[in-house]
Amino acid sequence: MGGDDQVVLVNARDEVTGTMEKLQAHREGALHRAVSVVITNARGQMLLQRRAWGKYHSPGLWANAACTHPYLDEDPAIAAQRRLWQEMGLRAELEPLFTFTYRAELDRGLIEHELDHVFQGVTDQDPRPDPAEVAAFRWVSPSILRAEMRRDPDCFAPWFLMIARRMGDG
């Protein structure tokens, strides 16, 4: 088990190379392991969360249902379940979707450089989000999401834009 203030550094093959304090990793742009959770409902709508305004990066941007950094020695699938519950108060069966690496310049001079394990699940439960993590949530159809992403991409977290496009929803 690790701490919420640490990230697991990895190489391009997702092999652990160490740990680093989370803010330092985002200042330096160090490649680290991440998890993203995409949730849809039976109607095919995707659950989006607006990141809380107090987040140290990307506050107020729309993103996928949950994101986290796995603890050292924590399986990404376990981290995905943990964070979906912590952020959205949801439980769902999650399946691995894909893994990708990206680097994005963020606000406040920070850099997100992640090897991101993306999981997908389906639920019709009503989210019960943690207000420290989530300012708002909504369910959105693929066609509306595509239109919004084209019209105003700066309203979305950069990793979510990449995930949605890769899924064919952007």
Domain count, the chain: 1
Q: Which domain holds residue 92?
A: 6-167
CATH number at residue 140: 3.90.79.10
Which residues are part of the catalytic machinery?
67, 114
pLDDT digits (tens, 9 = 90+) for 28-85: 999 999 999 999 999 999 999 999 999 888 899 999 999 999 999 999 999 999 999 9
**What is the C-alpha separation between 84 and 97, in angstroms, rounded?**
16
Pairing of strands 62-63, 66-68: unpaired
Joined together, the tokens standing for residue 11 give 């190489």
Say how far apart CA 113 and CA 35 lie, in whole Å: 12
The answer to whether the beta carbons of residues 115 and 14 sit under 8 Å apart is yes
Examine residue 1 and state whether it is found in any structural domain, yes or no: no
Q: Does the residue 60 lie in any domain?
A: yes
- Tell me phi and psi for residue 42, to 5 degrees: -65, -20
DSSP 35-53: EEEEEE-TTSPEEEEEEPT
Structure tokens of 168?
């064919």
Q: In the chain, what are the helix, strand and coil shares in percent, each to the nearest 5?
A: 25, 35, 35
**What is the per-residue pLDDT across 95-125, written as a single tens digit (0 to 9) for each?**
999 999 999 998 788 999 999 999 999 999 9
- In this prediction, residue 1 has a pLDDT band, given cuts at 50, 70 and 90, of very low
